[in-house]
Structure 1
Amino acid sequence: MERILVVGVTGAGKSTLARTLSGRLGLPYHEMDALYFDGPGWAVNSRLTEDVSRLVGERRWIIDSIGSPEVRDLLWDRADTVIWLDYPRRVVMPRVLRRSLRRTVTRESLFGGNRETWTGWLSREHPAWWAWSQHGTRRREVGSRTSDPRFAPLDTLRFGHPDDTAAWLASL
């Protein structure tokens, strides 16, 4: 495990697990949202492909994302391990709702100086809406990728509940 993707739906705990693994395994951690959004108004990084190419060219890393379409194959071609947080909606939705509510109330600064807002909750792009609407789609996509012969050398660890993930993490 030297080039790890932590994948799952919004709110599954990808970033939290990736940060923890980074500390335990001594791997450089790269947060995909911080790479993707680089300015006010949720501006997308115009150098995303170049930045991700440089990072995955390194010998060791951990990234918390399946990857946006423009960099997805780059990530999956270079990874040696996929950790899939395949949690049901009943686990993910309370997490994403609590997180978004906290971020909205505290006006927490996020990627590129952006913030979640009360009006943002009405958008289909809001994390809560996104987690709900993309749950099945993301699950099918990760399943398809983990069974794709192109990525056969990947070690895939699939966890269906946070307790399973915690037990595995404790065993490291």
Structure 2
Amino acid sequence: MLRFDDPLPGRPARVVVAGVSGAGKTTLAGRVARILGVPHTEIDALFHGADWTPREAFLDDVREFVAGEAWTTELQHASARPLLLERADLLVWLDLPFATVVLPRLVRRTVRRRLRREVLWNGNVEPPLHTVLTDREHVVRWAVATRNKHRRRVPQLAATRPHLTVVRLRSASEVERWVAGPLRAVARP
């Protein structure tokens, strides 16, 4: 597993970004895509249908985009994980401090989206804020409940997939230093 300042072994073509909800996966996946000049597919846009229902075509859509030569996305949704990991050559793990970075970021994002009624995927909007108390699937409750899963899952993935380069980023400054250093170094023509 590489640190933020370790050089990458080469230019990655297919990148997945892992982390708990609110860690910044989609933002970083988009940045990586722009720097490498490859497409970014937001996996939640493929997964969520109207009224937050899973889309029937989700796995077919995932199969289609992972068949491409180059892409970035987020490592989410258990049913898609094997397809993503089979083709990915770089996994970036956002292992940021939960209580001081991720949770406040997630709460701010959730409140902002709800108050502004921001339309997310396929016409969905964040549910009323009080549902954090009543819905076990609410994104904030989900993040709290699953915050430690990646600490077990990512090292297992690294151990069982020798073709996969794994970079662990533990702070916002490490993210910035990795993007400016090792990622940009391999992105240069």
Question: What is the TM-score when the length of structure 1 is the normalising length?
Answer: 0.93
Tell me the SS of whatever aligns to 1:83.
strand
| Aligned counterpart, 1:111 | 121
Deviation for aligned residue 1:100: 0.3
1:130-161 deviations in Å (ceiling 9; x for gaps):
1111001233222221222xx11101111011
Indicate whether 1:15 and 2:19 are aligned. Answer: no
Q: Give the one of 17, 35, 39 matched to 1:28.
A: 39
Deviation for aligned residue 1:24: 1.1
1:15-53 deviations in Å (ceiling 9; x for gaps):
1111111111101000011010022x1011101111101
| Aligned counterpart, 1:58 | 68
**How is 1:152-163 mapped onto 2 (pairs within 5 angstroms)?**
152-163=162-173
Q: Give the one of 39, 58, 69 matched to 1:48.
A: 58
The one-letter amino acid of 1:13's match is G
Q: Percent identity?
A: 36
Deviation for aligned residue 1:103: 0.6
Tell me the SS of whatever aligns to 2:77.
coil
| Aligned counterpart, 1:126 | 138
Bigger Rg over Cα: 2
| Aligned counterpart, 1:138 | 150
Partners in 1 of 2:156 and 2:116 — Cα distance? Answer: 38
Greater share of residues in strand: 1
Deviation for aligned residue 1:57: 0.5
Question: What is the TM-score when the length of structure 2 is the normalising length?
Answer: 0.85
Structure 1: runs of 5 or more not aligned? none
| Aligned counterpart, 1:168 | 178
| Aligned counterpart, 1:147 | 159
Partners in 2 of 1:129 and 1:15 — Cα distance? Answer: 19
| Aligned counterpart, 1:81 | 90
The one-letter amino acid of 1:99's match is R
1:93-138 deviations in Å (ceiling 9; x for gaps):
0110000010111111011111112243231111111111100123
Aligned residues: 168
Structure 2: runs of 5 or more not aligned? 1-11, 185-189
The one-letter amino acid of 1:68's match is H
Partners in 2 of 1:154 and 1:137 — Cα distance? Answer: 19
